[in-house]
Structure 1
Amino acid sequence: MRLLFVGDVVGDSGQQMIKEYLPKLKRKFHPQATIVNGENATKGRGINESVYKSFLQTGADVVTMGNHTWDNREIQDFIGGAKKLIRPANFSANQVPGIGHTIININQQKLAVIDLQGRVFMTPSDDPFAVVQDILEEVKKETDFIFIDFHAETTSEKEAIAWFLDGQVSAVVGTHTHVPTNDARILPKGTAFMSDVGMTGPYDGILGMKRENVIGRFLSQMPTRFEVDETGRQTLSACVIDIDDKTGHAKKIFPVLINDDHPFMD
């Protein structure tokens, strides 16, 4: 089984990159499942229904979220019926709408996709280590093919949960920090890991935001409204993961980067 995972889509710029390159990536790599993190897709904060549906139409099988899940209030109107949209499973248990994991059919196999959020330097949430263990008890009754989007701030927490789950899941890939890391690897017991897959959207912003606003905050320490940089160049960050069809263990993981410094090659 081959998976394609595309990192945090930011604003209109990120949406454009998805529309232009996701079909090309699917033709090039032939993934059996495509997962897209869309938590910044609508104006850099959350996602609305039309953008969610456009991702599915363009080729995403599952859309994951993160700490900005509720920033666009419209999500509360449709997340209950959006079976391919998952928010972090360790949001306050049974107190918020939506689901934290889903299982999709891929030919004669099934893939479980789980969304989790870290707790270090993040808004309060339930313990992801405990929550994921409970989920695994459920999903492992149906499949050994399990992908986790771990939306977290620190590399230490991301590494910790990957090692904690090594051999129990197919892959743990981090999101949230928007900068792709150069540490894609297969852990000893067969779990693919990458600290952060990176972002999809503005290439010339700072984490996708207008540079002058971010720099201004560092210079003055005054509150500044961050806005998506929609006028510059664009980038797409992703990774491809190959999973053994018999064991559910990962065989290979490699990053994919598309921008002016890394042009797309058919």
Structure 2
Amino acid sequence: MRILFLGDIVGRPGMRAVRENLARIREEESVDFAFANGENASGGYGLKAKHAKELFKAGLDGITGGNHIWKFKDLYSLLESDGRILRPHNYPDHLPGSGVRVFRKKGFPPVAVVNLIGRTFMPPIDCPFAAAETVIDALPADVPVTIVDFHAEATGEKIAMGYFLEGKVSAVVGTHTHVQTNDAKILPGGTGYLTDLGMCGAEDSCLGMKPEIILDRYLTGLPRQLEAASGPGILQGAIFDIDDTSGKAVSMTAFQQNNRA
């Protein structure tokens, strides 16, 4: 099967790029499942319920989250009722939603998606490595394909997770830093890996935000409220092929396309 996983969707440019291009990309690239990290889709921070529904209408099969997934409380009920929206699994169990979902589609073997969040340079949270091991061991026996979105700041922590899960999952992809890395590969155990998928947001921006505000913060040291940049968007992520039977990655390629047309 072929899977497309898009990086963090940031604000209106990211939403627009997904809405206007995903259906065509799915057809051109023969994509069977499409996922994206959506925790920054609503104005650059958080995910509103209405925007989650728009992303599903645009053609996403599932949406993963991160540290900003909790901003809009109207999403909480949707996290509980719609398992297609994930939040990091290593948050406390009593919080809304789940960090694992088995996606079942007629004609394809089941695909599990696991969402985790890192601890390095991030708020204190339960160990993502322990959480990964526990949740993967608990997956149903009929699930051959498992994709992990590791939402983390430090590249070293992401790489460590890739090797920790090598041979245990089909692919590990990183999100959160909004900068697509150049290390798409298949680890020796058959696990596809990319340190960061990048973002879907304004191409002329600082991680999807207005550069002038970021510059002012650096030049003055004073706090400024960040705002999502405007202008043409860019889509970044990865496309990978997975063997339906073994669950091992056959190919892993970074994906990028602008929305200037």
Tell me if TM exceeds 0.5: yes
The 3 A distance-change label for structure 1 pair 169 and 140 is: farther
Distance across 1 between alignment mates of 2:255 and 2:4: 9
Distance across 1 between alignment mates of 2:258 and 2:68: 25
Distance across 2 between alignment mates of 1:147 and 1:197: 13
Partner of 1:9: 9
- Please list the CA deviations of residues 30-58 of structure 1 after superposition, one character each: whole Å capped at 9, or x if unmatched: 11111111000011111111111111111
Distance across 2 between alignment mates of 1:188 and 1:85: 31
Partner of 2:119: 119
| Runs of 5+ consecutive residues of structure 1 not aligned to the other structure | none
Distance across 2 between alignment mates of 1:98 and 1:53: 16
Alpha-carbon shift at residue 95 of structure 1 (Å):
2.4
- Please list the CA deviations of residues 120-144 of structure 1 after superposition, one character each: whole Å capped at 9, or x if unmatched: 0011111010011111111152312
The residue type equivalent to 1:54 in the other structure is E
TM-score (norm. length: structure 1): 0.95
Distance across 1 between alignment mates of 2:208 and 2:222: 20
Q: Secondary structure at the match of 2:104?
A: strand
Distance across 2 between alignment mates of 1:163 and 1:124: 23
- Please list the CA deviations of residues 108-162 of structure 1 after superposition, one character each: whole Å capped at 9, or x if unmatched: 4100000000000011111010011111111152312000000000110000010
Q: Secondary structure at the match of 1:139?
A: coil
Alpha-carbon shift at residue 73 of structure 1 (Å):
2.3
The residue type equivalent to 2:100 in the other structure is H
- Please list the CA deviations of residues 143-196 of structure 1 after superposition, one character each: whole Å capped at 9, or x if unmatched: 120000000001100000100110000000000000000000000010000000
Aligned-residue identity in percent: 38
Give the 5 Å matches for 1:67-106. Answer: 67-92=67-92, 94-106=93-105
Partner of 2:168: 168
The residue type equivalent to 1:97 in the other structure is P
- After TM superposition, the structure 1 stretch with the greater mean CA deviation from structure 2, 244-253 or 72-81, is 72-81
Give the 5 Å matches for 1:133-152. Answer: 133-152=133-152
Distance across 2 between alignment mates of 1:226 and 1:201: 14
Give the 5 Å matches for 1:181-192. Answer: 181-192=181-192
Runs of 4+ in 1 over 2 A off after TM superposition: none
Do the aligned residues in 1 keep the contact of 2:144 with 2:244 (CA within 8 Å)?
no
Partner of 1:223: 223
RMSD of equivalent CA atoms: 1.3
| Runs of 5+ consecutive residues of structure 2 not aligned to the other structure | none
TM-score (norm. length: structure 2): 0.96
Partner of 2:25: 25
Q: 2:208 matched to 1:208?
A: yes
The residue type equivalent to 2:213 in the other structure is N
Partner of 2:236: 237
